[in-house]
Amino acid sequence: MIELLLQPVITAIFITLFVLLAAFAVYNIVKSKGKKSGVSLKKAEKLLFKIEKLAEDEYIEPFGGKDSLFDIIDGLKRLADYENIKEIILDIDHINLSQAHYEELKPLFRELAKTKKISAIATEYNKIGYLTALLADHIYLFRSKSCMMFLGGYSYRTPYLKRVLAKFGLQAEVLHIGTHKSTGEELVLEEMSQEKRESQGRVLEKAFAYFAEEIQRKRNIDIKTALLKGDLIFATAEEAMKYQMIDGMVTLDELGVDLDKNTISWANYLEQYKEKKIKTKDEIAILSLEGEIKEKKKGRKGISYKSVLKKLDLIKEDENVKGLVLRINSPGGSALESEKIYQKLKGLNIPIYVSMGSLCASGGYYIASAGRKLFASPITITGSIGVVLMQPRIHEAMEKMEIKLERIENGAVQDAFDITRPLSEASRQKLIQSMKMVYQEFKDHVLEARNMDDDTLEPLAGGRIWLGLEAKENGLVDEIGGVEDCIASLARELNLDKYKVSVLQEKKSVKDTIKEVMPEFLSLAQQAALEFMIDQHTQILCLEEFDME
């Protein structure tokens, strides 16, 4: 009885302490953000380029932090204005870029190389790290015998689980519309299908060729044979220099990096550089869609109709927005959510262009078909026009455990979504019929957008995946280029000489920040009470503007 009486008191004390600690932590964050340390931008001679995480559709932290793709692009473009910065050093160990990001930044670094020395250093090089290093004119390994290169041919591995699931009495129902729609086949097959092997192998082969060609373009060496022979796996600095893959071994000190005297960090640079201001009301809005498409997104990444709706309504209400660029990086997901987003986009009275990231496939391409013009990087994975449905089935596991499930029901086709019994043939046909309708709706949007007939589209659809270069050749995209190319092309259509680029992002509230560190052992009632006490902020939308001309 005493414990029951004390429990609310203990809970209240704990919540009060937690809020005080959270408030103290927030205060320290704000305080630390306000402190300027290191070299000032005007006095810096070198810049140390480090990006731990490059975000596209992320929340803006409530206390600053510029880590979006568009912050990076704008910062690099403005860097040319600072003549006092003579050298850029890429700290590859602390740069996390995708191949699509590399393509986005390549022309910017090419322009910077006209007036600044650009070097790259790493303790080890894998494929994406070395690709990033190709942004530089001078590539180094850190001076240590333990530093090596790990570059070779491609390798793709995935487990097939049908037999192991059967040991536990578990099965999966995976229905496909599209001969090459291979999602989920690992659950129902004992080995890779020929269609997936052909499709995946083709993409991997072309991606490998792209990597080798980029090295040849920048380093003027044919490295393909050495890569395939494994000569650059566990390659020492001496071996790497023999193949002309690096220019030597150095330390940051030997490169003259001193964050207290002559070198500014990338984070400090973004805080200090001046954004270019142009007097104009005309805007091109950018909406980034990143992650899986589903009705309810969890965490920061993910695409849902509800989250997109708020942003599109904001765009629709702004009469200064003359056009929209969709930046899509998504493997797909819910067909219904994709259709709802598609319809909302088609309802806008402004032209829509699409810039594809590393991945714009299935539902991602579904949404992209609302665009008037589609841009992809050479190695974007796109297409996958098809439909898949996956369900677990546990009836055999229940039998093994001697669980008897009693039912009271009437009517046929009750087993379609009942995982406790086998899928009947009648239900299977009903599901396939429904999926075929979704597939046709998907194709109808693509047929309209790409101005094709079905005889032309079907060999490109059926779940097949394509790299950006292939998609340009077969007509699934219009141009090879990055988001900057996409924006510039849209501006030309709109006859805009000067315009602002407004990047629509969500701003994370203090409440969201505190909730991320909320202890999991709190009861639901305690969590609700704590949320009530800190619910002084709400998640808002904001437009981060960059001026263009």
Q: Mind listing the pLDDT tens digit of every residue in the chain (549 residues)?
A: 444 444 554 555 555 555 555 554 544 544 444 445 678 999 999 999 998 777 765 544 444 455 688 889 999 999 999 999 999 999 999 999 999 999 999 999 999 999 999 999 999 999 999 999 999 999 999 999 999 999 999 999 999 999 999 999 999 999 999 999 999 999 999 999 999 999 999 999 999 999 999 999 999 999 999 999 999 999 999 999 999 999 999 999 999 999 999 999 999 999 888 776 778 899 999 999 999 999 876 656 789 999 899 899 999 899 999 999 999 999 999 999 999 999 999 999 999 999 999 999 999 999 999 999 999 999 999 999 999 999 999 999 999 999 998 888 888 888 888 999 999 999 999 999 999 999 999 999 999 999 999 999 999 999 999 999 999 999 999 999 999 999 999 999 999 999 999 988 765 555 555 555 555 555 656 566 555 555 544 444 445 555 555
* C-alpha to C-alpha distances, 515 to 355, 525, 530, nearest whole angstrom: 33, 14, 9
Give me the residue spans of the domains in the chain.
46-151+232-272, 283-387+425-548
* C-alpha to C-alpha distances, 442 to 49, 353, 354, nearest whole angstrom: 42, 19, 17
| Sheet of 124-125, strand order | 124-125, 148-150, 233-235
Prediction pTM value: 0.84
Domain pair 46-151+232-272 / 283-387+425-548, same fold: yes
DSSP E strands, 380-489: 381-383, 387-393, 465-467, 479-480
Going by C-alpha positions, the residue among 296, 300, 320 that lies closest to residue 506 is 300
Domain 46-151+232-272 annotated CATH 1.20.1050.10: no
227 CB-contact burial (10 Å; exposed 0-12 / middle 13-18 / buried 19+): buried
Q: Which CATH superfamily is domain 283-387+425-548 in?
A: 2-enoyl-CoA Hydratase; Chain A, domain 1 (3.90.226.10)
**Non-local CB neighbours of 291 within 8 Å, separated by 6+ positions:** 57, 297, 301, 302, 303, 329, 330
